[in-house]
Amino acid sequence: MTVLILTGEEDVTADMVVVHLNAASVPVVRLDPADLTAGVALSGEYVHGSFRGHLSAGGRLVSVSGLRSVWVRRPGAPAARAAQPSAWLTEEAGQALYGMLRGSAARWMNHPDAARRARHKPWQLRLAQRCGLPVPATIVTTFPQAAREFAARFPDLVVKPVSGAHPQEPPRAVPTSRVAPDTDFAAVAYGPTLLQRRVAKRADIRLTVVGEALLAARKETPADADPDEVDVRFASAATPWLPTEVPPRVAAGVRAYLRTAELAYGAFDFAEDADGTWWFLECNQSGQFGFVEVETGLPVARTIAAWLARPAPREPGCADDRHLAAP
Amino acid sequence: MTVLILTGEEDVTADMVVVHLNAASVPVVRLDPADLTAGVALSGEYVHGSFRGHLSAGGRLVSVSGLRSVWVRRPGAPAARAAQPSAWLTEEAGQALYGMLRGSAARWMNHPDAARRARHKPWQLRLAQRCGLPVPATIVTTFPQAAREFAARFPDLVVKPVSGAHPQEPPRAVPTSRVAPDTDFAAVAYGPTLLQRRVAKRADIRLTVVGEALLAARKETPADADPDEVDVRFASAATPWLPTEVPPRVAAGVRAYLRTAELAYGAFDFAEDADGTWWFLECNQSGQFGFVEVETGLPVARTIAAWLARPAPREPGCADDRHLAAP
């Protein structure tokens, strides 16, 4: 049974995982959907009620039924590097590749549907609340008056994008910033704005979860830190990331979160306050882990490799009247 | 409890459903995400572990917890009609709106994730097979040699797009066409190609399924029909669509299909052969039903209205260790 890794050619983070899979003699096929139909080929046949599918990449042929897991790392847009790329070819190639893989029994890290859903920050906040994780008071609004009332109740606020990275090439992370006390919120009417109570933090937490395994890193906030520096991605490197323990209630909360979200992998960001409470900021289903592993020595790559190497479950069936209630 | 309809202003098919909801005194809010943030506004607050959200459209305010169902009909791209539209604003507005709605307890016709998955034709074919629906022999391939071998086994073939409509403005349906006997398949290498055994049909079937309700229409193939006219969307109007009965095995199959696909609505296309067998061609999760209702009198709009009017289930929770197995 083979592990399929969908990613670009230059992906040192994927390389870190492949090393462990190779060491365990687990067969790996790595391909970039962008190389369809130049270098990567596919074929699937639906005859007499059954399906036989194959992928070919780098001269290797693998059967779809022989896949134990699919790691959706950093795949390119399907057929983006074809001889004559087009939106139509990308659509056709994407439907063919993912349509075929979606019918397989392989385990996904992460499944495309779960990944897509998990990117919605309002949905993340609600799910975190339901799973018992403390969430700083937050509003997402296009009503200037609602923003003003929220700012009156919670005067110390940060603003951040609802959706994450700005859709430009290459994508640019939009930093979380502090809201000035005299802010007028009239511009809120022109685009949804996410305002959140600023957590006076004594540390940032990056909790990487792989299946049931929790790998937590903590970066202390220097005592002389500028309170306007709220975004750890742009913070100084004065203090290192160090491994840390996960409080049991947080452990139960994040496991329940990932289970409900149907994610096999998630990188949680928390802000730790003076009381030691971990405040949920977000869960990035494709969050980088290379820097965590390099700085802390936490075995993220090995844990991912072990998850991917597990055997596939039996092929999914069709919902049966006797087992499922009507929708 | 309110029914939320996401669609454009000019949508006579939605109008047909609204008539029935109005007659039953079910509150309806209809909005086009394209009108964010000009005309449509939203606000959601996450405070002390709970969520309160509101939508405003056409001067009406509705609470997210007061939604019984969401009908995703023909929504525009979020904020497409804003004063200063941009890809970034569309992304932010889409995440805010759908992120908020995804956290609600409302029933969806159809849920965006299920809708997205259901568009993958290779996945459709595999699911139909698993649900016991007869599927004509099909291949999806980028290997010319695989296409040639398939054509040798099944000489009478049609070719159709893997993904459906061509991504141009306005979208153009690409007709299913017959494959000439002397076709060389060299071009298959440049883009995934879907080839399917042609069903010698005596009728086309359009089976519209709403929840558990089956509404079937049949259009007989004229005896003198040109066998090259395989696509019913482009066929002559010589014979009418008429209501028809659904064979019990097909009924069980399509209900299981929709349940597994987590779809509340699906428009199935079948080709009926000389033996009376219904061959699965596709299931369009957003298939039009206006022409069916107008030609046959089948009460599709009323059935959709009744489905949308049902009460919402209780709010979803967070997966609990005791109830769900580890992923």
Residues of chain A with Cβ-Cβ distance to B33 below 8 Å are none
Neighbours of B273 (CB within 10 A): 16
pLDDT digits (tens, 9 = 90+) for B83-120: 889 999 999 999 999 999 998 999 999 999 999 999 99
Pairing of strands B50-57, A157-160: unpaired
What residues does CATH 3.30.470.20 cover in chain B? 116-297
Residues of chain A with Cβ-Cβ distance to B93 below 8 Å are 191-192
Binary contact (A163, B255; C-beta < 8 A): no
Residues of chain B with Cβ-Cβ distance to A46 below 8 Å are 125-126, 129, 135, 137-139
- Pick from A270, A231, A263: which is nearest to A249 by CA? A270
Residues of chain A with Cβ-Cβ distance to B117 below 8 Å are 102, 113
Which residue does chain B place closest to A256, by CA atoms? Answer: B319
The answer to whether ipTM exceeds 0.95 is no
Given this model, what pLDDT does residue A167 score?
A: 53
What confidence tier does B236 reach under pLDDT thresholds 50, 70, 90? low
Question: Average pLDDT of B224-246?
Answer: 80
Lowest mean pLDDT among A154-158, A226-230, B14-18, B35-39: A226-230
Q: At what angle do helices B248-261 and B121-130 cross, to 10 degrees?
A: 130
3-class SS of residue B16: helix
Please tell me which of the candidates A166, A192, A326 has its beta carbon nearest to residue B42: A192
pLDDT at B12 > cutoff 60: yes
Given this model, what pLDDT does residue B2 score?
A: 96
- Pick from A282, A279, A271, A269: which is nearest to A119 by CA? A282
Q: Are B174 and B319 in contact (CB under 8 A)?
A: no
- E-strand ranges in B25-75 read 28-31, 40-47, 50-57, 60-63, 67-74
Given this model, what pLDDT does residue A326 score?
A: 35
User: In chain A, what percentage of residues exceed pLDDT 70?
Assistant: 91
Question: Average pLDDT of A252-280?
Answer: 97
Binary contact (B122, A44; C-beta < 8 A): yes
pTM of the model: 0.90
pLDDT at A98 > cutoff 50: yes
Q: Could you tell me which residues are beta bridge partners of residue B40?
A: B36, B57
Given this model, what pLDDT does residue A175 score?
A: 72
Q: Top-level CATH class of B116-297?
A: alpha beta
Counted residue by residue, chain B has a size of 327
The number of angstroms, rounded, from the C-alpha of B12 to the middle of its chain's C-alpha atoms is 17
**Tokens representing A283?**
């869960």
Residues of chain A with Cβ-Cβ distance to B89 below 8 Å are 191
Q: Which of B92, B124, B250, B324 to mutate to test the interface with A (most CBs of A within 10 A)?
A: B92
Binary contact (A327, B262; C-beta < 8 A): yes
pLDDT at B175 > cutoff 90: no
Given this model, what pLDDT does residue B166 score?
A: 59
Please provide the average confidence, as pLDDT, over all residues in chain A: 90
User: Rounded to a whole number, what is the distance in Å from the CA of A23 to chain B's nearest CA?
Assistant: 25
> Can you say whether residue A25 is alpha, beta or left, with left for phi > 0 and alpha for psi between -120 and 50 degrees?
left
Given this model, what pLDDT does residue A229 score?
A: 75
pLDDT at B170 > cutoff 90: no
